[in-house]
Chain A
Amino acid sequence: MAGTTALGIVSLPLAGFLFSGLLRNKLPKNIIGAVSSLSILGSFILAGTLLFNMPQNESKSFIINYFDWIVTDNFRISFSLQIDPLSELMVLIITGIGFLIHVYSIGYMHEDEGFGKFFSYLNLFVFFMLLLVMGGNLLVTFIGWEGVGLCSFLLIGFWYKNPAYNAAARKAFVMNRIGDLGLLTGMFLILYTFGTLNYNDFLGKIDADTNAILVTAIAICLFIGAVGKSAQLPLYTWLPDAMAGPTPVSALIHAATMVTAGVYLCSRCHVLFDNSVFAQNLVTYIGIATSLLAGIIGLKQSDIKKVLAYSTVSQLGLMFVAVGTGAYGVAMFHITTHAFFKALLFLTSGSVIHGMQGEQNMLKMGGLRKLMPVTWLFMLIGSLAIAGIPPFAGFFSKDQILAAAFAKSPVLFGLAFVASMITTFYMFRLMFLTFANNFRGDEHTKEHVHESPMVMLLPLGVLAVLSIIGGFLSVPEILGGQNKFIAFISPVVGVLPHHEISHSIEMMMMAAAVGGALLFIGLAFYVYRVTKMVPTDNVNELNPISKLAYNKFYIDELYDAIIVKPIKVASYAFYEFVEKYVIDFVVNTVGKLALFVGAAIRLLQTGNVSFYLFAMVISIMVFLVLQGFVFN
């Protein structure tokens, strides 16, 4: 029963993909959009029914093997799906938010000529993403992993006529490939060490006695894969560029679901990290460094989507901090709330861009509150949620990350605190620049600014409600809650490490976080609302530090100089000398030789029967002589 349901969840989006992909030019847009959305809704409902039929065994999981896929003497890999609280949670997020974003896209993409193509890609993405999270072994996950990478590539470069967008798509793909290499290496190591890729089998075999170096190596390899997919240092630069894709794509793929796959993978394989202190520390440091760096860059960006992109990178960094401190449940919780409010933020920004006729530069906005009141309200909710103001969703999850960080070290807590304050500041900088004061664009644009249609606002409303109440899924004990959410997935990701923090300190931390957030909101209010300051786009007027942040710390340029350029030079050299004069020569000579030999032997085929008989007799004689005198 559950096996069929699971298969249904996965195959509905695939069916939607085939439907909209094959019939995209034949059917009207509305039908394509409706069918695609309904296929996702169907998956969501199926996943919902599964929620009430969760497996009741000890590990709360079951695995359905559909068929044997690769069978060798040494190992056997089947196509299997796994249902447990972790995958169930991810499925609900993917299909739920995926459905809302599909509905939103019907409005957002309505004028686009690639409407059907867009929906088929989107459905395909959901299919692969579901494979990724439901895979019962690493190989199935890997198929999903590669598949979402492909869909991400296709959707970033969706408007393929713009060369810059294509470059962004390529960049995302290459960066992801680097990570994939790590993941693949990890998979080979696991297969080599444990002889299986089934999560439950190899994770069950790891304990304190397992070779520590090997465990660390595997954990780091998987983490490299996660770094690529989840845009962490040093492979994060693709995500801001990925904003080239349509905004619903940014919301679904590059905020709510795909980029969290790395966090999901680490949580799924948490036993590896639990058994390797080094790997845990590495994850923590990379997470916090990414969070800070991305936050600082985000402070100076003027493109509304770029700000949100850096904010995503920064939030993902915080999730990895939670992973590194062993609080996997908290990381998953933050994925959930982040999916709500970041999807909301992206979609509202999409609504703004839609209203502004495609304009993304905040410096040319302003005063939109009166023109787009509903969008303003929803974005405010999203911003409050990400800033961690109670009772919005972000408050609960972020607070628990901070607590987990504090349990590890006060310094870490400090850094995470700073990162979250930066978040608050740039989010409200974005709010005020976009919505407050007077309109800064030209009159022509202003006339056309309009509130988005109902089909776009409805999903926004649902997401806004979720951003408000989402946090109550897991109210910490200290506030009288029961941490239900974390209890739900703890059978898979393990219980939270026991905090040695007294309630009073925790309360103080909470107060500090909220107070700090309010303080920075006030600061943003003062700078961008009261003094009506508008940041400049002119690089020369910036002070050196701002300039550094504005230029994203020249990380792209650095990569270009130390990696891309040398490779280009080397490949040029190889092409010009090795390829042309060595390889070509050898290959051509061998080819010519083969043809020459063929031409020579061909001459034996004279067509003369006497000669054939003669040749046969001679060969028989030779064989007889060889048989009689040489071989014996």
Chain B
Amino acid sequence: MMIFLVAFTKYLIPLIIQLLVVLGFVFTTVAASQYLGPKRKTAGKLESFESGLDAVGNARVPFSVKYFLAAILFVLFDVEIIFLYPWAVNFKELGWQGFVEMLMFIVFFTLGFFYVLKKGALKWDD
């Protein structure tokens, strides 16, 4: 029991105080900025930011699913290309073995690419 009390006063009370301070600081700053800051609302300010262009129409139109497919395929092949960088950096050290291994890797994903093409996943209109 005593040990528990000692541990409580020694470790926990500072901890609790710090917690309170942190929370207090967060609340005060957020509340203060809310009250102290000036607010001038204009139409231009409330419009959503589109890299400086004027927004046209509704944002919630459905995209063609092909877009996602193309996007995902792009990411996939992009990531695979990234593997070429470490190989290029260590080209000399890896030597011929590394070259052959990389060739295999490229053949594999070319196979994948070919499959995707043949499947018609990139055909935009049908």
Per the CB under 8 Å rule, do A and B touch in the complex? no
Name B's A-contacting residues (CB within 8 A).
Answer: none
Interface residues in chain A, defined as those with a beta carbon under 8 Å from any beta carbon in chain B: none
